[in-house]
Structure formats: structure tokens, C-alpha cells
Amino acid sequence: MTQQQFIETFNGADQLKRAAMFPTMGLQKSDAHLVLPVKPGLPYKEIHIVGYAKVRAALWYVVMTDGTRVPIKAFKLHNSGVDTYNEWVRVAPSKAIAEAVRERMISAFDGVVLPAERNN
């Protein structure tokens, strides 16, 4: 499955299909993982951003206050942390959250995939 196919399939699927994609594609362990705490009072307690080099894609999900994980959106994973961050900004829950984690995200996702695999 190409990067674009993974992203389109993930973003177009319901919650159960999204969850089923990971074991069937061998994506049990991410290659990059960033955990972002959120302000109290929201229905979720953390935002997670994970990257998978195998499909050259990243995704973000929230962990609800009851511990349930809810996948939200997939996006392109690039060799450059800056380019990956720019993809995240397009699907982030808000510009303020995206800006608040800019440096941490760039650092966490820089070089996760090889340059030759960058675009497909």
C-alpha cells in the first residue's frame, strides 16, 4: 500500500476499520511517537502523533479521559521534520496546538523515513 493509499483509506474509514488496519499491515510499533498533554476540562487527556516509516505516513489520535483511543487523521510523513510538521498543521485540531508543539514535533519526526522514500 502506498503512502497516499494508506492516508486515503485511513481518513475515509470508520473507527473499527481504522483500528483493524494496524495489525493487518504490521504496524503494531511506531517509528516515532510524540505525546502531547492537553489543558484540563477537555474530553480528552492527551494527543498522540505517531509515524510509521513502512507506509511513510503519520497519524494523530486522542486518548479520552476514560482511556479510549480515538484515531483522528493520517498525514504524510517526510524525511524532514519541518515538512512533516507542515503536513500536521493541515490536520491539527487547532493552529494554536500546532504552533505550541512545533519544535518538539520537528525534532521527533526528523529523519524517520529515508529521503529516497519521501514521495510516492
Domain tally, the chain: 1
Pick from 111, 88, 110, 112: nearest CA to 99: 88
pLDDT tens, residue by residue, 6-52: 899 889 988 888 877 776 777 778 899 999 988 888 889 999 999 99
Closest CA to 101 of 36, 31, 33: 36
**Domain-located, residue 90:** yes
Rounded Cα gap, residues 58 and 7, in angstroms: 9
How confident is the model at residue 109, as a pLDDT? 95
**Quick check: is 119 in a domain?**
no
Assess if residue 120 is contained within a domain: no
CB 72 within 8 A of CB 48: no
Residue 22 resides in a domain: yes
pLDDT at residue 82, as a whole number: 96
Is the residue at 102 inside a domain? yes
Q: Is residue 29 part of a domain?
A: yes
Residue 27 falls inside a structural domain:
yes
Q: Give the CA count within 13 Å in the CB-facing half-sphere of 28.
A: 3
Give 40-88 pLDDT, tens digit per residue: 888 899 999 999 998 899 999 999 999 988 889 999 999 999 999 999 9
Classify residue 110: in a domain, yes or no.
Answer: yes
Residue 102 has pLDDT above 80, yes or no: yes
Structural domain that includes position 14: 3-114
